[in-house]
Structure 1
Amino acid sequence: MPSLLSLPEISGAELSRLVDRAVHLAGAKSFPPSLAGRAVGIYFRKSSTRTRTSFWRAATALGADAITFGPDDLQLITGESPADTARVLGGYLDLLVVRTNGDIAELRALSEAGRLPVVNALTEHEHPTQVIADLTTVQEEFGELAGRHVLYVGEGNSTARSLAHAVAMTPGLRLTLLTPPGYGLPEDVLAAVEDLGGAGRIDQRHTLDEAPTGADVVYTSRWQTMGVQKPDPDWRSLFDPFQVTEALVERFGHPGTIFLHDLPAIRGQEVTDEVLDGPRSRAWRQAYHKMTSAMAVLEWCAGVA
């Protein structure tokens, strides 16, 4: 059974299938017991509201038994090796969802030692399940992804990187990253994304005057990724022009443009209340789709969909 550690490790067809399944589940009157008899572990070393809750709800709604572990719940804190912990968990669980905010190699080691599928629920550089929820929201809104243009405004963080991966794997979808100088995706990452199939459909700009107009989606994320302070004490002066206001959406969008935010939002920083709570906002539906996308991912990893 497969793990979902990084989007480039699956095919574009599999990504499309996960999004289609999440959209289907969102419209279903009831959820199927597709994971009945399965046991899902949810291990989060860092704080989480949406991702942790959505995976718990996804597992239980599909009929699985779910157990959650916080940062102090496993014997890892007393010195047991991750490999030994994983070997034990592999005897109890069918799937393991993990958030570490660290290196993806740790998740890969847990999967190999435990011989069980592992789902990446956020590492330092990637957030694949978040972006499946994002694409699900866009597809539900517009009916299809091809031909749509996403303008991502803010820091080139884990969400931005995974979004670039997803766009590169989705024919006809376009992405512009509008980031402050020094806070974008590295050039080697952009080159790798182009190799995935994103050549000509993904670019990065660093001033508002360079950004194209006519975006179907304006997307921002928290400027202080994972709540970590930036080393530059004057970083806000670089970011302030990139705040998503109604004026920014009108400048770069069109009457049907929607707004996305992966949440949590710092109101008055990366986005104004007017936008986050306004009629363009799909941030709350996007948060709901963290659950439907989690369902799709768990079914895929379990080999039942």
Structure 2
Amino acid sequence: MTRRALYSLADLDTVTVHRLVRRSLELYEDPTAHDRPLAGLVAGLLFTKTSTRTRTAFTAGTVRLGGTAVAFGPADLQTNTGESMADTGRMFATMLDLLVVRTAGPVAEHRALAADGALAVVNAMSIEEHPTQGLADVATLVGHFGDLEGVRVLYVGEGNNTATALARALAHYPGCHLVLACPPGYGLPEYVRAGIAGLAAAGGGSITQVHDMGELPTDVHAVYTSRWQTTGSSKPDTHWRDVFRPFHVDTALMNRWPGAVFLHDLPAHRGEEVSGEVLDGKASLAWAQAGVKAAGAMAVLEWVAASVPASAVPDTTGAAPPGFPVPGPTIQKEEE
């Protein structure tokens, strides 16, 4: 049986995206609103890059849902000595039920760890996309606005993995409009925009991009920014900070749209992508957004765990698992 996986929001249909967002909000309101769907299951958490919110969210989420979490750091696996991701995944599939993965590499590494569908895998961030962040971001917006019909979101900063996830998630909400204001040369990848433009337009929404802060929309309900330097990434231009400086979110920018709320995926670098006055101000949803992320991790874990068959739960009776070779009788060697 092929188990569910979350590699990219591009792989999910609208029904599933909405379901995960709704479930995130339900668990945010009541973290106990479940029947311990991970009871008897073991979830591996492989984080080869630093993480505070995502690692904590998935670790706590596993425990709250009744599962057992096993953590792996960047120096813990034999991949450091040359073992392939594919071989590592084949081994993991014999010992784990779920695997949550964060790397600075491509999502292809995460797919390789799935052992051809034998292991349920969650992308907790890759170089291309941060899908669980996108779900938490949209859940935060839905929790605040209720309905995203007519809501206009402005994303300011690099078109990175966070921006990709946000755009892919919002494209599933009819009538929602997203404008990305990105420095020249640092926009959302064209293949991402092309892949969601039709979906957004079909629902009466839009995904557009500008490279000049003088071209911002006149009507904005939410402003989102993220760090200029994404974990594990680097920029080829040594003067990139000068290029990014105009894309700073401060009080003057927020005052252009009285009533607009502010979002940030954290951690934040006050004085760079955002001022402290905005991040800690009354319009900021950033800290609630972090809390929704914890609930979102639970929603995703619950969703992938539903594809793990009951037979995957370890048998504690002492009998051999189905399909596992049972040792035969000991052969006694005749005495000479």
**What TM-score, normalized to structure 1?**
0.95
Pick from 195, 203, 207: which aligns with 2:208?
A: 203
* Number of the residue aligned with 1:28: 30
Distance in 2, Cα, partners of 1:247 & 1:96: 43
SS of 2:101's equivalent in the other structure is strand
Deviations 1:149-169 (A, max 9, x none): 110001111111111111112
User: What residue is the counterpart of 1:14 in the other structure?
Assistant: 16
1:190 aligns with 2:176: no
**2:230 is aligned with what amino acid?**
T
Query: Which structure shows the bigger proportion of residues in helix conformation?
Result: 1
Shift of 1:29: 6.1
2:119 is paired with a residue of what secondary structure?
coil
Cα offset for 1:171?
A: 1.7
Query: Counterpart in 2 of 1:249?
Result: 254
1:218 corresponds to which residue?
223
Secondary structure of the structure 1 residue equivalent to 2:94: helix
CA distance in 2, matches of 1:131, 1:29: 20
Assess if the C-alpha contact under 8 Å between 2:26 and 2:33 holds in 1. no
The amino acid of 2:29's aligned partner reads G
Alignment of 1:102-113 (within 5 A): 102-113=105-116
Contact 2:104 2:232 in 1 (8 A): no
**Do the aligned partners of residues 128 and 219 (structure 1) sit closer, same or farther apart at CA in structure 2, a change above 3 Å counting?**
same
Q: How many residues align?
A: 303
Unaligned runs of 5+ in 1: none
What percent of counterpart residues are identical?
Answer: 52
Give the secondary-structure state (helix, strand or coil) at the position aligned to 1:226: coil
Change over 3 Å in CA distance of 1:29–1:99 after alignment to 2: closer
CA distance in 2, matches of 1:198, 1:118: 31
Q: Any conservation in 2 of the 1:44–1:71 contact (CA below 8 Å)?
A: yes
Tell me: CA distance 1:25–1:239, structure 2 relative to 1, closer, same or farther (3 Å).
same
Partner Cα distance (1:228, 1:120) in 2:
17
Moved over 4 A (4+): none
Q: In the alignment, residue 219 of structure 1 is paired with which amino acid? A: Y
- 2:93·2:115 contact (CA, 8 Å) conserved in 1? no
Verify the 8 A CA contact 1:90 1:114 in the aligned structure 2: no
Equivalent residue, structure 2, for 1:180: 183
CA-CA distance at 1:194 after TM superposition: 1.0
SS where residue 300 of structure 1 aligns? helix
Q: How far did 1:198 drift? A: 4.4
Equivalent residue for 2:89, pick from 86, 91, 97: 86
- CA drift of 1:46 comes to 0.8
Corresponding residue of 2:295: 292
Contact kept in structure 2, 1:167 and 1:198, CA below 8 Å: no
Counterpart in the other structure of 2:74: 71
CA distance in 1, matches of 2:64, 2:201: 36
CA distance in structure 2 between the aligned counterparts of 1:227 and 1:101, rounded to whole angstroms: 5
Inter-partner Cα distance in structure 2 for 1:131 and 1:184:
17
Match of 2:242 among 237, 244, 251: 237
Q: 1:151 aligns with which of 150, 154, 163?
A: 154
Distance 1:36 1:182 in 2: 47
Task: Call closer, same or farther: CA 1:227–1:243 in 2, change over 3 Å.
Answer: farther
Distance 1:189 1:132 in 2: 17
CA positional deviation for 1:276? 0.4
Q: CA deviation at 1:227?
A: 5.6
Find the structure with the greater CA-based Rg: 2
In the alignment, what sits opposite 1:168?
171
TM-score (norm 2): 0.86
Q: What residue identity is the alignment partner of 2:55?
A: R
Corresponding letter in the other structure for 2:32: S
Find the aligned partners of 1:216 and 1:72 in 2 and give their Cα distance.
Answer: 43
* CA RMSD between the two structures: 1.7
1:288 alignment partner AA? G
Q: Give CA deviations for 1:237-291 in whole Å, capped at 9, x if unaligned.
A: 221111100110121x232x11101111111000000000100111111111111
Contact 2:31 2:295 in 1 (8 A): no
Take 2:32 and 2:118, find their aligned partners in 1: how far apart are those partners? 32
Contact 1:84 1:113 in 2 (8 A): no
Segments of 5+ residues of structure 2 without an aligned counterpart are 308-336
